[in-house]
Amino acid sequence: MKIQLLQNMSQNAKEDNSTSVNRESTERENDSQLIDLSAENTENPVQGLESSSNGILLNSKIEKMEQLVNKYKESLKSIKEKNSNMATELQILSNEIDNKKKENEALKADTAKLFEAQQKINELNMINEDLQNKINSYDFNRTKEISTLELQVQNYQEEIKQLQNKIDIFSKREEEYAISLAENKLSIHKELEDKESEIKTLKESLSDTKKELQSLNIITNDYKTSIAALEKERIKLNEEITELNLNKSKLSEMESQIQLLAQKCQSYEQSKSKGDEELKCVQLQMNQETAEKLAMIDRNAYLENRVTQLTEENSKKNNQVHHLENELQKLFEKDKNFEIQSNEVQLWKSKYNNLESEIQEEREELVKLQREIEKLLSNHESVQNKNLALQNTLSDINSENKYLRQKYELIKKKFRLLINEVKTIQKDIKSISVIVKPFKEEFNSVIIPEIKSKIVELCSFLEGSDDTKASYDILDIENNALKKELETIKNLHENNAQHMTTLTEENRKLTMLIGDYESKITLLEEEVQSLSSNFLHSTDELGILRNEKEKLIHKLQEVEILCNRLQNGIDHDKSQYLIALDKMKLLEDEKQTLHKRLNNLEKENELLNIEAEKLKVIHKDEAACIDVLNKEKQSINEKVVEYEIIINKLEQQIQELSHENTALKDQSTSIANRVKSLELEIEEIRKSHFDIEVEKDRLNSLIEDMQNKKEPISLSSENKDTQTEESGLKSKNDENLFDEASTTLEQSNAEELKSNDSLSLISTVEILTAKNKEYMEEINVLKDSNINLSNKLMEINSNVKLDNNNKAEENITEQYRTLCNSYDLLKEDNRRLRSDIEGLQTYLTKISKENCVLNDKLRETIAASDSSFGRSESNSTNNEFETVKSDVVMKEKIEDLIRENNLLLEENLELKDQLQSQNYVEPKILPDKKENDSITMDKYNNLLVSQSKLEEKLLNVEQINKLMNGNMQQMQNSNEKLKLTNEKLERRLDEALVSLRHLHSLQENTELEYLRNILYEYLTGSGTHSITLAKVLAAIVKFDDKQTQSVLQKEKERQGLLRQLGLL
């Protein structure tokens, strides 16, 4: 506060100097005015000298001037008194100026000290800025590391999700496999039932196979001689197999150990999942801490800005310098502590690096052991598969261990980073709290009392400024009076030119004194102005200080809130630090357990090395056995040549079957040609349909003529006597019309017959669909047999791999016989299918003939449809045309089914060929086991592909069957429509008959009026008595029983609809 007052005093001194300069300028102006007066006075004595020559004239004037001089003297006396008073005041002011100069010199000394303090403070601020930049760069790097860690965590989460998806896929596959197993069980059930039927057929084929056995026995006797020599070698192989079994038992023990390792891996995975969860928690805490840190950074920036403002305002205080020096000492002490902690961290890092190097050495030893194990296990083929499985499991375990170790290392790194970050945060919080506390104390102890003292000084200064204003006003009044007196003196000086020569010297002295006094007055005026400006400035500063005081109070409140939050954050960080330490202890315990497990694994690896050496010895023995087996291969190759001759014969049979397939394809092309001919017939039917429509128009014209003829008949009823002959002629015409109606009835009956024929076609189509289903069942049976054969092939291959003895030959012969029997069964099935196809072809020829007959009938009906009535016949012809179309579509679909059956037969033949090739290639497979495995797998895959294709075709056939059923329903609907049209025609014929029979009775007026009244009530009534009115109308018109029943049913249906709608 004192420094601020000194600054203000220096500013006031500067302002006083400026005001003194202004006053000097004003005094110079006043001096110039006085000089002007003196100049005028000098001009006046010159004029007096000129006038002295004329002395006589001026004597009278001199007397007057003397009087004026007396008055002027009196005025000068008064001015001298005033000047004496002003001199005393000037002495007082000069003393005050000397005092102020001394104060200014003291202030200058103080300002020099303050400048030095400011330089020190600026240096400290530079140091603080460097530290802040370092902190910001550290925070930026830390945020980068956090972002990278978050990305890694996201990647791990995505990997976990992918693994979970894989687990779901595997679970779904397991379910599918379970379903497929259930389906296989059902298929096996069915196969057992089929095999029971096959056993009966096999018994019949046994008689044929016995003959073949006799021929084979001759061959086997030749082989027995070679078998006797091979049995000895077999005994040796059995001994070796026992040794291998012992090795297998050892391998099973190894597998149990691998299972234990797998369980350990599961426990690792569980610990990994726990670690991941803990990582997530730590990451969430890190995110919260980062958010809090960002808020703290923003607030720190705000506080730092405010602190900089306060430091600028309080830069001239010596107390702050001492505080800052103390804080610097504390910072140096903290830096020393930080260096000690960094040394500790480096020690931990060195320990960690040592552990990593040990782990890497152990890994290298494990890799070396694995390579040795791989070399040992790769020596023998029979043990190779199991050893490869062991190696794969070991490699997976090692990779998982590596992965777990890497994760463990990453978690450790992250944990250490967290600990370091927590420590840095705690240090930042402590440093901020240390910085904030002295500011609070200074604000409460120094700034507030200084503000109060400034307010008191300003009040006293304002009171002093009021006194200076009063003196300034008095001086202004005196100055104005002096100006007036000077004007009067000028007038006297003109009259007293002679006396002015003597008085000029005195006047000059007085003017000098007056100049001095006026310079003092200007100085005083400048001081007054400076004081007024200082007053205004001080008032402005008071307002600013009040605003700053309010802002400081708010900021103090915010700082207190921040301090509370920081303390809460420190407590939270301490708790998290304790939790992290606990986690570190747990991780160290897990690390120790892992070291123990690694030691156990090393012991197990040593045992494996010992076993590998034993396996090397066994491998040497087995190499000798392999040489013996190679000799056996040569003998088997000779047998393969004999089997190839049999295969060539079978290939010839396959060629014959292919020729039969070509013949069947030719038949399919002929069927396609027939379809084209049917399409031509359909076009002819369309043309005939056009002719029918032309004839319909003619029939409509005939109907209109009939209606016109009925009206003159009603008129002729009045003139019975005069027009009897004309009525007779009309009755003849009516009878002709009746004959024509009867012909239409016959035609409708013919159409009904056609509809019956279409129903018969539908029934035949149903029969075909049933047969198609039977064929599909047979195809399914063939598929099942194919699957059984493929399973048998797999069993044969497994038997070939397991049994390298002479028993394999006997099994092959038995399997060959069973396959031959199954081949014969397939041939019989093929023959059955061919016979069915031939039956279908004959049936198609019959259907085509029936279609031709139906087309002929259609043409006859078109020729005889001249006398049919109205639009009803057009509808019936359209329906007939649609039935014909549907018949053609049905034919096309049947042909498609036949084609698909042919394709299925061809595929069956291909499957048979594949089976034959598989059956006969088996002897070739014996020389090379690896080629056998690859070929059988390829063939099995091909069979699966063909099976899938067959299933797709079956689905297509089922869809076609569904379409056929839909078409059947359409045919039935069309037949029902035809029946309805026939009923309408019958009604019209009945109406015509009634009109002919009851013309005479209807001509009576009473009956007509009765009919009119009933019809009017029936048509315009409420509908409640419509049934009774319908009965009455039927009785008057004399409907048949069927007609009345149909009318009553229609009325009941109409009333039900009206009731539903709410109209009744």
Residues 86 and 107 in one domain: yes
The two three-digit tokens of residue 596, written as one number: 């123990």
- Confidence band, pLDDT 50/70/90 cuts, at residue 924: very low
Q: Average of pLDDT values for 1036-1045?
A: 85
Q: What is the Cα–Cα distance from 948 to 941, expressed in whole angstroms? A: 11
The per-residue pLDDT for 253 is: 73
505 in a structural domain:
yes
Do 799 and 811 meet the contact criterion of CB atoms below 8 Å apart? Answer: yes
Lowest-confidence segment of 715-729, 905-919, 944-958 by average pLDDT: 715-729
Residues 736 and 612 in one domain: no
The per-residue pLDDT for 926 is: 42
Q: Average of pLDDT values for 270-283?
A: 70
Kindly report the average pLDDT of the chain as a whole number: 65
Q: Give the pLDDT confidence of 169-178 residue by residue, as tens digits.
A: 877 777 777 6
Q: Domain of 1034: which CATH number?
A: 1.10.220
How far is it between the farthest Cα atoms of the chain?
201
300 in a structural domain:
no
In the numeric block, the tokens 């048949």 are attached to 1040
Q: Which of 853, 850, 858 is nearest to 760 (CA)?
A: 850
The per-residue pLDDT for 404 is: 66
How crowded is the C-beta side of 338, counted as CA atoms within 13 Å?
A: 14
Q: What is the Cα–Cα distance from 294 to 300, expressed in whole angstroms? A: 9
Dihedral of CA atoms 591, 592, 597, 599 in degrees, nearest 10, equals: 120
Q: Give the pLDDT confidence of 674-699 residue by residue, as tens digits.
A: 666 766 766 676 676 677 667 667 66
Q: Residue 979: which domain range?
A: 644-717+727-999
Q: What is the Cα–Cα distance from 310 to 314, expressed in whole angstroms? A: 6
Q: Which of 960, 72, 990 is nearest to 502 (CA)?
A: 72
Q: What is the Cα–Cα distance from 1064 to 1055, expressed in whole angstroms? A: 8
A 10 A CB-CB count for 779 gives 22
Q: Average of pLDDT values for 473-486?
A: 62
In the numeric block, the tokens 């199991």 are attached to 386
Last residue in a domain, options 943, 974, 999: 999
Q: What is the Cα–Cα distance from 1018 to 1028, expressed in whole angstroms? A: 9
Of all residues in the chain, what percent carry a pLDDT higher than 90? 0
Q: Which of 105, 94, 95, 86 is nearest to 13 (CA)?
A: 105
Dihedral of CA atoms 783, 786, 787, 793 in degrees, nearest 10, equals: 180
888 in a structural domain:
yes
Q: Which of 598, 540, 568 is nearest to 369 (CA)?
A: 598
Which residues are CB-neighbours of 422 under 8 A, at least 6 positions away? 573, 576, 577, 580
Residues 111 and 147 in one domain: yes
* pTM given for the model: 0.18
Of all residues in the chain, what percent carry a pLDDT higher than 70? 32
Q: What is the Cα–Cα distance from 897 to 891, expressed in whole angstroms? A: 10
Q: Which of 769, 767, 758, 763 is nearest to 977 (CA)?
A: 758
Which residues are CB-neighbours of 428 under 8 A, at least 6 positions away? 135, 296
Residues 567 and 585 in one domain: yes
Give φ, ψ of 381 to 5 degrees: -80, -40
Q: Average of pLDDT values for 632-659?
A: 71
Q: Give the pLDDT confidence of 521-571 residue by residue, as tens digits.
A: 667 667 656 665 666 666 677 667 667 767 766 766 776 676 667 667 667
127 in a structural domain:
yes
Per-residue pLDDT at 664 exceeds 80: no
The secondary structure element, H or E, covering residue 522 is helix 497-716
Alpha carbon 370 to its chain centroid, in Å, reads 43
The per-residue pLDDT for 154 is: 76
Supply the DSSP symbol for 1025: T
Residues 426 and 385 in one domain: yes
Per-residue pLDDT at 45 exceeds 50: no
The two three-digit tokens of residue 582, written as one number: 């606990």
Do 703 and 870 meet the contact criterion of CB atoms below 8 Å apart? Answer: yes
Residues 581 and 610 in one domain: yes
Q: What is the Cα–Cα distance from 277 to 283, expressed in whole angstroms? A: 10
Residues 614 and 688 in one domain: no
Supply the DSSP symbol for 111: H
The per-residue pLDDT for 728 is: 46
Supply the DSSP symbol for 865: G
Q: Which of 96, 88, 27, 43 is nearest to 514 (CA)?
A: 27
Residues 128 and 141 in one domain: yes
Q: End-to-end distance of the chain based on CA atoms, in angstroms?
A: 108
Dihedral of CA atoms 792, 796, 801, 805 in degrees, nearest 10, equals: 150
Q: Average of pLDDT values for 964-993?
A: 68
44 in a structural domain:
yes
Last residue in a domain, options 582, 599, 631: 631
Last residue in a domain, options 947, 974, 999: 999
Do 848 and 826 meet the contact criterion of CB atoms below 8 Å apart? Answer: no
Q: What is the Cα–Cα distance from 628 to 234, expressed in whole angstroms? A: 10
Q: Residue 738, class by beta-carbon neighbours within 10 Å (0-12 exposed, 13-18 middle, 19+ buried)?
A: middle
Q: Give the pLDDT confidence of 360-370 residue by residue, as tens digits.
A: 776 676 677 66
Q: What is the Cα–Cα distance from 1 to 451, expressed in whole angstroms? A: 8
**39-48, 196-205, 436-445: which is most confident:** 196-205
Q: What is the Cα–Cα distance from 724 to 716, expressed in whole angstroms? A: 9
Q: What is the Cα–Cα distance from 130 to 998, expressed in whole angstroms? A: 129
Do 81 and 283 meet the contact criterion of CB atoms below 8 Å apart? Answer: no
Residues 696 and 794 in one domain: yes
Do 796 and 922 meet the contact criterion of CB atoms below 8 Å apart? Answer: yes
The two three-digit tokens of residue 661, written as one number: 């397939």
Q: Average of pLDDT values for 711-737?
A: 47
Alpha carbon 1043 to its chain centroid, in Å, reads 72
The two three-digit tokens of residue 329, written as one number: 């000492």
Q: What is the Cα–Cα distance from 950 to 943, expressed in whole angstroms? A: 10
336 in a structural domain:
no
The two three-digit tokens of residue 649, written as one number: 């014969």
The per-residue pLDDT for 870 is: 45
Task: State the total domains in the chain.
Answer: 3
Q: Give the pLDDT confidence of 828-872 residue by residue, as tens digits.
A: 666 666 666 666 556 666 665 665 666 566 556 555 544 444 444
Q: What is the Cα–Cα distance from 455 to 827, expressed in whole angstroms? A: 126
339 in a structural domain:
no
Which residues are CB-neighbours of 901 under 8 A, at least 6 positions away? 772, 775, 833, 837, 840
- Confidence band, pLDDT 50/70/90 cuts, at residue 1053: confident
Q: Give the pLDDT confidence of 118-168 residue by residue, as tens digits.
A: 777 777 778 777 777 777 777 777 777 777 777 877 777 787 777 777 777
Do 2 and 446 meet the contact criterion of CB atoms below 8 Å apart? Answer: no
Do 758 and 887 meet the contact criterion of CB atoms below 8 Å apart? Answer: yes
Report the SS3 class of residue 869.
coil
Per-residue pLDDT at 725 exceeds 50: no
Q: Average of pLDDT values for 965-970?
A: 69
- Cα dist. 876→693, 734, 880 in Å? 12, 25, 6
The two three-digit tokens of residue 144, written as one number: 């980068």
Q: Average of pLDDT values for 53-64?
A: 69
The per-residue pLDDT for 469 is: 53
Better pLDDT: 361 or 24: 361
Alpha carbon 19 to its chain centroid, in Å, reads 79
- Radius of gyration over every alpha carbon of the chain, rounded to an integer in angstroms: 66
- Return the HEC string of 703-719: HHHHHHHHHHHHHHCCC
Do 725 and 892 meet the contact criterion of CB atoms below 8 Å apart? Answer: no
The per-residue pLDDT for 649 is: 73
Better pLDDT: 259 or 442: 259
Per-residue pLDDT at 929 exceeds 60: no
Per-residue pLDDT at 1052 exceeds 80: yes
Q: Average of pLDDT values for 742-752?
A: 52
Do 1 and 450 meet the contact criterion of CB atoms below 8 Å apart? Answer: yes
Q: Residue 589, class by beta-carbon neighbours within 10 Å (0-12 exposed, 13-18 middle, 19+ buried)?
A: exposed
Angle between helices 870-925 and 724-802 (to 10 degrees): 10
Give φ, ψ of 382 to 5 degrees: -70, -35
The per-residue pLDDT for 515 is: 63
Per-residue pLDDT at 710 exceeds 70: no
Residues 686 and 705 in one domain: yes
Do 7 and 521 meet the contact criterion of CB atoms below 8 Å apart? Answer: no
Per-residue pLDDT at 1049 exceeds 80: yes
Q: Which of 742, 743, 741, 696 is nearest to 877 (CA)?
A: 696
Do 307 and 442 meet the contact criterion of CB atoms below 8 Å apart? Answer: no
Residues 809 and 788 in one domain: yes
The per-residue pLDDT for 41 is: 41
A 10 A CB-CB count for 530 gives 21
The two three-digit tokens of residue 920, written as one number: 């006969």
Residues 687 and 749 in one domain: yes
Q: Residue 12, class by beta-carbon neighbours within 10 Å (0-12 exposed, 13-18 middle, 19+ buried)?
A: buried
319 in a structural domain:
no
